[in-house]
């Protein structure tokens, strides 16, 4: 099928606009983080199973930095919409699911991360962390749009399968969701020290809960993604598991996230130990994304540039 | 002694050990992604070892190039396996005990629970308890006169156990699969060429499982009719397909052929085996006319040296006909080697390919004459000549020329080599894995178990109604989520409101 160049161009414009909007949102979040007061105790406990029968946060005047933060949140939603539109246009222009090369994969991954962040913002009083979360996403999007950029085009014979739609999207979305606990776990490690050097970060408890809940959401998804990949590999490569570098690293990060879930239920590993494991999982995901796709040669490398 | 065994067992089955083993497993699996592996690319391993001197040999000795077959990797996963079994057995026992047990009694001091609420109501304790029972419908309950204890979310443990047992099942099936599976690759000419799964020797390469000796492969035959490929303008392939016929099972005796279109992602599944289309390439056909007028025509596959343009290299080898004296024959063997360009691109005389499909293909050939060294008992590649023979002067280059279809080259002794035609070959893989269906079933159970155990929460609620001196009743509600508190707060708040009848407030 020929590529619709007009739609492909619109997609690229939307992608750049989304990046710009995210950048602006980061600036607004940063303003809030810098100028708002440290969260009060009660505020930090909301959503953390507070042992009280109180209504949600008492109404009070919204300070200026908070207003700026809200604008940041609104811009994040706008950016996500532009981002989504860019992916849809990509798909329409090439006449296939828009995750057939690394640029598109990265774009979907980041969209999943942003959407997760928006949902979390609605559930936890953590809006001002936006800058910390959106910055790595923006870096990934920037790399995706420059170094990894690929023209809209049809894909190779091996990728012509409905499993491309299922396997790649599930893996990409779960990796995107897993980006969030990676960041919140790093923040947890910063926050959870004896001296409260970072009074403006939410409480360690909230950060820990956020990490856990997002990981718990993404882990079954990631598992399903790997299994879908195995089913596809059985049809495309003649075996469901062959220790291809990508498969190996996916297996390793699966084991690491499994370790995270176990660590959280083990005395002595709860808290900092678990957070470190989550950070390792995050690092492995990044490694799998860049090093394995671009440096090593395996069956998955054709999904690269 | 018994104490030692018991302590070892306890240590091995503790969560801490399991965690350590999980880390070790992750760590031990990593070299497989970073270093070349024998099972994936043996040539790369040789290259790596050669380049890294003692370090390469050291790694080779420790099995770092076949990580997943080494004793140390096996040791880790077997220990983990044991630890898992040791952890699961008591948990299963505990699980069945709990399925029949009543929810635990209401603790004395409910205000100590992580979730707590209380109110003084204008009702009798019986009414308050009745209301609590109503609010807790669907929970497993144990109610007394003035207290209710309830628990819910037993499915969490069910899912947890299903997940872990399915994991065990998957590992066992995987291991059994490694015993009884086999995988073989073969190149077949796509002009009516046939392949039968009769024995190992029909394959170009064959990788058997530990318990496969190749004597009872599933019998089936395939015949490759026509291969076709579709490319984009820039040479990127869009689709490959081979029209094949096959027979297996009863069809073999009846000699019935069934048609199938073999494509990437669409293997042929027959008689428990799978047949895959892995790749393709070109077979140039040459005719050699010897000085005595006899002709020999041969087509043998050449190997694509550039996957993008399918420029291919190879060696087509000829024996002089009618020569019975082996000494004489070895002096006059002929090899046509060189480069095949499906769509030629000429820079002066240098031939290259610019597109993978056939458009007036050309070959740039070197013709060698002499002793090919095929009779000395050693195997040699079908894609190249033995360069040692050339170095020793026993094989000489006698001509070099670019040939278009139908063109020929004449040697000094009157021998002529003609480039006749080009046809396709396909590389096929046959895979046999009797346990992969079980692996899939366990994998699905893994997802289901995981989903259930991570979404369902095990939680408890207690209600106690205490009559007060003024005739009113103090109703207390306490809650505890047994695994993770996350998300229990909202539910508890809702329940407590229902029990304390606070909707109106």
Please give the torsion angle defined by the CA atoms of residues B209, B215, B219 and B224, in that order, rounded to the nearest 10 degrees. Answer: 70
Q: A255–B22: do the CB atoms touch at under 8 Å?
A: yes
Q: How far is CA B362 from CA B93, B284, B315, B349, in A?
A: 74, 10, 15, 12
Please name the member of A154, A236, A242 whose beta carbon is closest to the beta carbon of B265.
Answer: A236
- pLDDT tens digits, residue range B353-368? 999 999 999 999 999 9
Q: Clarify whether residues B185 and B233 are in a common domain.
A: yes
Cα gap A181→A276, rounded to integer Å: 11
Using the Cβ of A54 and the Cβ atoms of chain B, whether some distance falls under 8 Å is answered with no
Residues 462-481 of B with CB under 8 A from A: 481
Do residues B142 and B102 touch, judged by C-beta distance below 8 A?
Answer: yes
Cα gap B312→B315, rounded to integer Å: 10
Using the Cβ of A234 and the Cβ atoms of chain B, whether some distance falls under 8 Å is answered with yes
Do residues A116 and A214 touch, judged by C-beta distance below 8 A?
Answer: yes
Selection from A285, A135, A115, A127 nearest residue A206 by Cα: A127
Q: Clarify whether residues B318 and B385 are in a common domain.
A: yes
pLDDT under 70 in chain A at which residues?
A: 1-2, 39-61, 193-196, 301-305
Using the Cβ of A236 and the Cβ atoms of chain B, whether some distance falls under 8 Å is answered with yes
Q: Which domain holds residue B378?
A: 283-423
Interface-testing mutation among A171, A208, A220, A300, with chain B (most B C-beta atoms within 10 A): A220
Using the Cβ of B91 and the Cβ atoms of chain A, whether some distance falls under 8 Å is answered with no
Do residues A188 and A104 touch, judged by C-beta distance below 8 A?
Answer: no
- pLDDT tens digits, residue range A75-90? 999 999 999 999 999 9
Q: Clarify whether residues B312 and B236 are in a common domain.
A: no
Please name the member of A212, A220, A237 whose beta carbon is closest to the beta carbon of B450.
Answer: A220
Q: A259–B276: do the CB atoms touch at under 8 Å?
A: no
- pLDDT tens digits, residue range B282-304? 999 999 999 888 899 999 999 99
Using the Cβ of A165 and the Cβ atoms of chain B, whether some distance falls under 8 Å is answered with no
Residue B171 resides in a domain: no
Cα gap A168→B244, rounded to integer Å: 31
pLDDT of residue B427: 93
Using the Cβ of A118 and the Cβ atoms of chain B, whether some distance falls under 8 Å is answered with no
Distance from CA of A132 to the nearest CA of B (A): 23
Residue B130 — pLDDT band, cuts 50, 70, 90?
Answer: confident
Selection from A193, A175, A133, A199 nearest residue A287 by Cα: A175
Q: B454–A220: do the CB atoms touch at under 8 Å?
A: yes
Beta bridge partners of B152: B459
Residues A105, A110, A116: CA angle, nearest 5 degrees? 130
Selection from B198, B230, B264, B247 nearest residue B426 by Cα: B264
Residues in chain B: 505
Cα gap A75→A79, rounded to integer Å: 6
Using the Cβ of A17 and the Cβ atoms of chain B, whether some distance falls under 8 Å is answered with no
Interface-testing mutation among B265, B273, B439, B493, with chain A (most A C-beta atoms within 10 A): B265
More confident residue, B329 or B279: B279
Q: Clarify whether residues B314 and B339 are in a common domain.
A: yes
Whether residue B312 has pLDDT greater than 50: yes
Whether residue B30 has pLDDT greater than 50: yes
Q: Clarify whether residues B400 and B268 are in a common domain.
A: no
- pLDDT tens digits, residue range B190-247? 988 999 998 888 898 898 888 888 888 889 999 999 999 999 888 888 889 999 999 9
Residues B362, B364, B367: CA angle, nearest 5 degrees? 130
Distance from CA of B169 to the nearest CA of A (A): 15
Residue B94 resides in a domain: no
Q: Clarify whether residues B469 and B490 are in a common domain.
A: yes
Strand B220-231 and strand B205-208: the pairing is unpaired
Residue B484 — pLDDT band, cuts 50, 70, 90?
Answer: low
Residue B163 resides in a domain: no
Residue B164 resides in a domain: no
Mean pLDDT of B58-85: 90
Burial code (b: 16+ CB inside 10 Å, e: under 16) for A199-219 equals: ebbbbbbbbbbbbbbbbbbbb
Do residues A25 and A79 touch, judged by C-beta distance below 8 A?
Answer: yes
Nearest CA in chain B to A242: B40
Which phi and psi (to 5°) does residue A140 adopt?
A: -60, -45
Which phi and psi (to 5°) does residue B483 adopt?
A: -105, -65
Q: B496–A53: do the CB atoms touch at under 8 Å?
A: yes
Beta bridge partners of B268: B275
Do residues A278 and A225 touch, judged by C-beta distance below 8 A?
Answer: no
Strand B333-341 and strand B312-318: the pairing is antiparallel
Cα gap B153→B35, rounded to integer Å: 46
Q: Clarify whether residues B364 and B263 are in a common domain.
A: no
CATH code, domain carrying B142: 3.30.310.80
Q: Clarify whether residues B135 and B182 are in a common domain.
A: no
3 state DSSP class of B423: strand
The DSSP result for A240-258, as a single string, is: S----HHHHHHHHHHHHHH
- pLDDT tens digits, residue range B409-437? 999 888 999 999 999 999 999 999 999 99
Domain ranges of chain A: 5-54+64-303
Using the Cβ of B241 and the Cβ atoms of chain A, whether some distance falls under 8 Å is answered with no
Q: Clarify whether residues B147 and B199 are in a common domain.
A: no
Please report, in angstroms and rounded to a whole number, the separation of the first and last CA atoms in chain A. 20
Q: A227–B446: do the CB atoms touch at under 8 Å?
A: yes
Chain A residues closer than 8 Å to B232 by CB? 153-154
pLDDT over 70 percentage in chain B = 98
Q: A235–B19: do the CB atoms touch at under 8 Å?
A: no
Lowest mean pLDDT among A127-136, B142-151, B204-213, B323-332: B323-332
Please name the member of B29, B238, B485 whose beta carbon is closest to the beta carbon of A252.
Answer: B29
pLDDT of residue A194: 64
Tell me how crowded residue B255 is: count the other CB atoms within 10 A of its CB: 8
Domain total in chain B? 4
Residue B14 resides in a domain: yes
Residues 6+ positions from B214 with CB-CB distance below 8 Å: B182, B199, B200, B206, B208
Distance from CA of A115 to the nearest CA of B (A): 20
Distance from CA of B40 to the nearest CA of A (A): 8
pLDDT of residue B483: 66
Beta bridge partners of B186: B428
Give counts: helices (H), strands (E), chain B.
13, 23
Please name the member of A157, A238, A240 whose beta carbon is closest to the beta carbon of B439.
Answer: A240
Q: Which two tokens stand for residue A24?
A: 């602006």
Chain A residues closer than 8 Å to B496 by CB? 53
More confident residue, A86 or B121: A86
pLDDT of residue A42: 44
Interface-testing mutation among B24, B25, B26, B173, with chain A (most A C-beta atoms within 10 A): B26
3 state DSSP class of B289: strand
Q: Clarify whether residues B304 and B411 are in a common domain.
A: yes
Residue B502 — pLDDT band, cuts 50, 70, 90?
Answer: low
Residue B232 resides in a domain: yes
Do residues B88 and B96 touch, judged by C-beta distance below 8 A?
Answer: no
**Strand locations in chain A (E):** none
Q: B33–A47: do the CB atoms touch at under 8 Å?
A: no
Residues in chain A: 305
Residue B214 resides in a domain: yes
Nearest CA in chain A to B27: A252
Q: A223–B276: do the CB atoms touch at under 8 Å?
A: no
Chain B residues closer than 8 Å to A161 by CB? 265
Cα gap A248→B220, rounded to integer Å: 34
The pLDDT mean for chain B works out to: 89
Using the Cβ of A157 and the Cβ atoms of chain B, whether some distance falls under 8 Å is answered with yes
Nearest CA in chain B to A239: B431
Q: A259–B274: do the CB atoms touch at under 8 Å?
A: no
Q: How far is CA B243 from CA A102, A152, B194, B226, B426, in A?
A: 33, 31, 12, 5, 11
DSSP category for residue B295: E
Q: Is B280 exposed, middle or buried (0-12, 13-18, 19+ CB in 10 A)?
A: buried
Residue B169 resides in a domain: no
ipTM of the complex: 0.87
Which phi and psi (to 5°) does residue B452 adopt?
A: -65, -50
pLDDT of residue A305: 42
More confident residue, A38 or B164: B164
pLDDT of residue B42: 84
Q: Is A105 exposed, middle or buried (0-12, 13-18, 19+ CB in 10 A)?
A: buried
The DSSP result for B212-268, as a single string, is: --SSSPPPEEEEEEEEEEEE-TTS-EEEEEEEEEEEETHHHHHT--EEEEEETTB-E
B99: enclosing H helix or E strand? helix B71-100
pLDDT of residue A301: 61
Q: Clarify whether residues B462 and B438 are in a common domain.
A: no
Q: Clarify whether residues B311 and B183 are in a common domain.
A: no
pLDDT of residue A203: 83
Tell me how crowded residue A145 is: count the other CB atoms within 10 A of its CB: 18
DSSP category for residue B200: G
pLDDT of residue A50: 40
Residues 364-423 of B with CB under 8 A from A: none
Q: How far is CA B393 from CA A102, B108, B372, B397, B399, in A?
A: 52, 100, 11, 10, 15
Q: Which residue has the tokens 């027979």?
A: B247
Do residues A262 and B455 touch, judged by C-beta distance below 8 A?
Answer: no
Looking at B32, B48, B83, the residue that finishes a domain is: B83
Do residues B258 and B399 touch, judged by C-beta distance below 8 A?
Answer: no
Cα gap B63→B40, rounded to integer Å: 14
Please give the torsion angle defined by the CA atoms of residues A203, A209, A215 and A218, in that order, rounded to the nearest 10 degrees. Answer: -110
Please name the member of B68, B237, B443 whose beta carbon is closest to the beta carbon of A243.
Answer: B68
């Amino acid at each position: 099928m020929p590529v619709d160049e007009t739609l492909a161009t619109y997609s690229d414009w939307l992608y750049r606009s989304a990046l710009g909007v995210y950048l602006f949102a980061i600036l607004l979040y940063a303003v809030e983080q810098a100028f708002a007061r440290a969260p009060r105790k009660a505020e930090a406990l909301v959503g953390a199973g507070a042992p009280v029968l109180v209504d949600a946060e008492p109404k009070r005047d919204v300070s200026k930095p908070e207003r700026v933060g809200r604008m940041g949140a609104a811009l994040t939603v706008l950016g996500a919409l532009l981002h989504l539109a860019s992916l849809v246009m990509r798909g329409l222009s090439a006449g296939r699911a828009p995750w057939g090369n690394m640029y598109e994969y990265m774009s979907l991954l980041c969209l999943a991360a942003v959407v997760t962040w928006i949902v979390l913002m609605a559930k936890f009083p953590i809006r001002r962390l936006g800058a910390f979360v959106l910055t790595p996403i923006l870096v990934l999007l920037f790399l995706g749009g420059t170094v990894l950029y690929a023209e809209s085009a049809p894909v190779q014979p091996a990728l012509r399968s409905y499993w491309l739609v299922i396997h790649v999207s599930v893996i990409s979305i779960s990796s995107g969701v897993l980006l969030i606990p990676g960041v919140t776990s790093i923040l947890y490690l910063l926050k959870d020290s004896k001296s409260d050097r970072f009074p403006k970060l939410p409480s360690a408890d909230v950060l820990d809960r956020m990490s856990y809940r997002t990981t718990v959401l993404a882990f079954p998804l990631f598992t399903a993604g790997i299994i879908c990949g195995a089913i596809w590999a059985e049809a495309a490569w003649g075996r469901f598991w062959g220790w291809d570098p990508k498969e190996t690293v996916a297996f390793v990060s699966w084991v690491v996230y499994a370790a995270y879930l176990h660590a959280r239920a083990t005395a002595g590993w709860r808290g900092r130990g678990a957070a470190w494991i989550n950070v390792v999982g995050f690092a492995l995901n990044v490694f799998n994304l860049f090093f394995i796709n671009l440096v090593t040669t395996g069956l998955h490398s054709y999904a690269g540039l | 002694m018994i104490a030692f065994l018991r302590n070892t067992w306890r240590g091995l089955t503790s969560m801490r050990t399991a965690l350590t083993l999980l880390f070790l497993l992750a760590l031990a699996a990593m070299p497989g992604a970073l270093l070349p592996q024998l099972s994936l690319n043996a040539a790369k391993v040789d290259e790596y070892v050669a380049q890294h001197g003692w370090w390469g040999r050291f790694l080779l000795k420790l099995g770092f190039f076949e990580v997943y077959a080494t004793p140390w990797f096996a040791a880790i996963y077997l220990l983990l396996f044991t630890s898992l079994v040791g952890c699961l057995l008591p948990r299963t026992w505990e699980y069945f005990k709990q399925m029949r047990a009543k929810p635990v009694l209401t603790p004395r001091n409910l205000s100590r629970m992580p979730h707590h609420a209380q109110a003084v109501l204008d009702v009798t304790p019986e009414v308050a308890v009745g209301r609590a029972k109503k609010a807790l419908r669907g929970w497993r309950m144990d109610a007394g006169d003035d207290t209710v204890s309830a628990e819910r979310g037993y499915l969490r443990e069910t899912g947890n156990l299903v997940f872990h047992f399915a994991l065990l099942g998957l590992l066992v099936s995987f291991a059994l699969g490694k015993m009884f599976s086999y995988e073989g690759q073969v190149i077949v000419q796509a002009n009516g060429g046939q392949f039968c799964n009769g024995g190992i020797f029909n394959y170009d390469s064959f990788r058997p499982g530990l318990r496969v000796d190749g004597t009872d492969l599933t019998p089936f035959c395939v015949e490759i009719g026509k291969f076709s490929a579709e490319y984009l303008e820039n040479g990127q392939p869009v689709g490959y397909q081979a029209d094949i016929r096959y027979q297996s099972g009863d069809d073999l005796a009846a000699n019935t052929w069934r048609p199938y279109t073999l494509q990437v992602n669409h293997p042929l599944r027959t008689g428990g085996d799978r047949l895959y289309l892995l790749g393709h390439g070109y077979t140039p056909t040459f005719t050699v006319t010897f000085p005595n007028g006899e002709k020999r025509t041969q087509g043998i596959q050449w190997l694509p040296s550039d996957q993008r343009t399918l420029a291919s290299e190879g060696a087509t080898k000829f024996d002089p006909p009618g020569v019975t004296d082996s000494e004489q024959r070895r002096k006059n063997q002929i090899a046509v080697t060189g480069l095949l360009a499906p769509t030629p691109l000429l820079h002066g005389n240098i031939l290259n390919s610019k597109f993978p499909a056939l458009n007036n293909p050309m070959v740039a050939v070197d013709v060698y004459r002499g002793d090919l060294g095929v009779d000395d008992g050693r195997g040699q590649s079908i894609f190249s000549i033995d360069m040692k023979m050339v170095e020793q002067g026993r094989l000489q280059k006698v001509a070099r020329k670019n040939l278009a279809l139908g063109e020929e080259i004449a040697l000094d002794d009157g021998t002529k080599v003609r480039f006749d035609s080009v046809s396709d070959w396909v590389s096929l893989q046959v895979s046999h894995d009797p346990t992969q269906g079980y692996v899939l079933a366990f994998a699905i159970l893994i997802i289901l178990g995981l989903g259930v155990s991570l979404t369902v929460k095990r939680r408890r609620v207690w209600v106690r109604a205490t009559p007060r001196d003024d005739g009113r009743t103090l109703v207390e509600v306490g809650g505890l989520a047994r695994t993770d508190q996350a998300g229990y707060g909202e539910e508890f708040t809702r329940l407590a409101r229902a029990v304390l009848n606070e909707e109106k407030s």
